[in-house]
Amino acid sequence: MWEGLHVAFGRRTDWQVLAPTSGLQLFFTSRTVAGMRVVITGCAGFVGSHLTERLLADGWRVTGIDALTAYYDPAEKRANLTSLLAHQRFDFVRADLVTAPLAKLLAGHPHVVHLAAQPGVRRSFGDGFDQYVHDNVLGTQRIFEAAAEADCPRLVYASSSSVYGDAARYPCAETTPTRPRSPYGVTKRTGEKLADIYRGLGLDAVGLRYFTVYGPRQRPDMAIRRLCEAAAGGPEFRLHGDGSQIRDFTYVDDAVEATVLALTADRTSPVLNVGGGQEASMSQVIDQLSELSGEPIPVRRRVGQLGDVHRTGADTTLARSELGWAPTVCLVEGLEASLDWVRRRRGAGVPVAVGAS
């Protein structure tokens, strides 16, 4: 029944069997730990690993779920897990949300943060859309339903600025009409509509529309990561479009802070924008990273990508008023931290990731 589910832990003392199947044993700690328990899907990813570290530091007991899919090199995700697996309050479950035993994993009605998804705009077109439906629609529906049945006190899930598409006005407030331009954006908007349904059934679900999150551990196919790799010695950066496209950049620590606040706030709106307030064009970002690196970044220009929007911009008034949240990391500081992380990886002999060009 649970074929393909794998479990790993940093410690194996004081564990008890929760449920065996076909030779598989699923373990959870029997220790009582001060603080609340949270289940984080997508814990090995970019934002998920940062969030897991933060909640562990705050005293939470964390169960992390991740399928370790091959959208990009799973070795990067495993590296993100390395320090987490040594933590006594962290349990890791490798599983696909569509087939995972969610009732068991959500026993004891923990808080939930749902970050697992198939990312990326370009790959969502064509035959690849099947995977987006599987991960972003079916997987999301299952975690919502399981959390509602388990009476989880709060579920925070990742939406995206992609739901806005090319908006009529900027910055976008949560009331701005949504008109996604990619199948990926459609799946994220579908997640919001599913949340509406389960909210009506009693699930306290809060969606965060993240705007271009960047920083250390960013996926190798993302622009800032690829620019930093180019600045650290190559390969050259592939620029899609003329460089005039504008993004509202959000440093990962600021995104994590908003997520923690949404998880613990007494009451929030159903959907909140999370944007760094750092709008810049791609040409400006290239110039800034060139200045930080001390030399021009090699750029190869290509045509624009299918489904790409010209601009994103977040009105974060609601998050500021309801969560008391505000971004604290400016774009220059965030770019410097991202470049330093890539350089440290290079210095440690880590190969350049596939997709970082």
Decide if 356 contacts 228 (C-beta within 8 A): no
Four-CA torsion 192, 195, 199, 201, nearest 10 degrees: 140
pLDDT at 17 over 70: no
Q: What confidence category does residue 304 fall into, taking pLDDT thresholds of 50, 70 and 90?
A: confident
pLDDT in tens, 184-235: 999 999 999 999 999 999 999 999 999 999 999 999 999 999 999 999 998 9
The mean pLDDT value of the chain amounts to 90
Nearby residues of 128 by Cβ (< 8 Å), 6 or more positions away? none
Ordered domains of the chain (ranges, CATH): 6-20+27-347 (3.40.50.720)
**What is the Cα–Cα distance from 153 to 158, expressed in whole angstroms?**
17
Decide if 69 contacts 116 (C-beta within 8 A): no
Decide if 262 contacts 206 (C-beta within 8 A): yes
User: What pLDDT, on a 0 to 100 scale, did the predictor assign at position 5?
Assistant: 42
Burial 12-49 (b: 16+ CB within 10 A, else e): eeebeeebeeeeeebbbbeeeeeebbbbbbbbbbbbbb
pLDDT at 12 over 70: no
Q: What confidence category does residue 355 fall into, taking pLDDT thresholds of 50, 70 and 90?
A: low
**What is the Cα–Cα distance from 227 to 241, expressed in whole angstroms?**
15
**What is the Cα–Cα distance from 204 to 284, expressed in whole angstroms?**
40
Nearby residues of 30 by Cβ (< 8 Å), 6 or more positions away? 14, 15, 16
Residue 296: DSSP 8-state = P
pLDDT at 344 over 80: yes
pLDDT at 22 over 80: no
| Active-site choice (72, 157, 184, 251) | 184
Active site annotation includes 164: no
Nearby residues of 77 by Cβ (< 8 Å), 6 or more positions away? 44, 45, 49, 66, 68
User: What pLDDT, on a 0 to 100 scale, did the predictor assign at position 354?
Assistant: 62
Q: How many residues does the chain have?
A: 357
From the number of C-beta atoms within 10 Å of its C-beta (0-12, 13-18, 19+), residue 321 rates as exposed
Mean pLDDT throughout 100-107?
97
User: What pLDDT, on a 0 to 100 scale, did the predictor assign at position 174?
Assistant: 98
pLDDT at 27 over 60: no
User: What pLDDT, on a 0 to 100 scale, did the predictor assign at position 60?
Assistant: 97
User: What pLDDT, on a 0 to 100 scale, did the predictor assign at position 352?
Assistant: 86
Residue with tokens 């079916």, as numbered in its chain: 138
**What is the Cα–Cα distance from 216 to 204, expressed in whole angstroms?**
31
Mean pLDDT throughout 17-26?
33
User: What pLDDT, on a 0 to 100 scale, did the predictor assign at position 21?
Assistant: 32
User: What pLDDT, on a 0 to 100 scale, did the predictor assign at position 35?
Assistant: 62
- Give the rounded percent of residues in the chain with a pLDDT score beyond 90: 87
pLDDT in tens, 264-282: 999 999 999 999 999 999 9
7 backbone dihedrals φ, ψ, rounded to 5°: -130, 140
pLDDT at 25 over 50: no
**What is the Cα–Cα distance from 223 to 207, expressed in whole angstroms?**
24
pLDDT in tens, 150-198: 999 999 999 999 999 999 999 999 999 999 999 999 999 999 999 999 9
Does residue 63 come out as left (phi exceeding 0), alpha (psi in the -120 to 50 range) or beta? beta
**What is the Cα–Cα distance from 40 to 81, expressed in whole angstroms?**
13
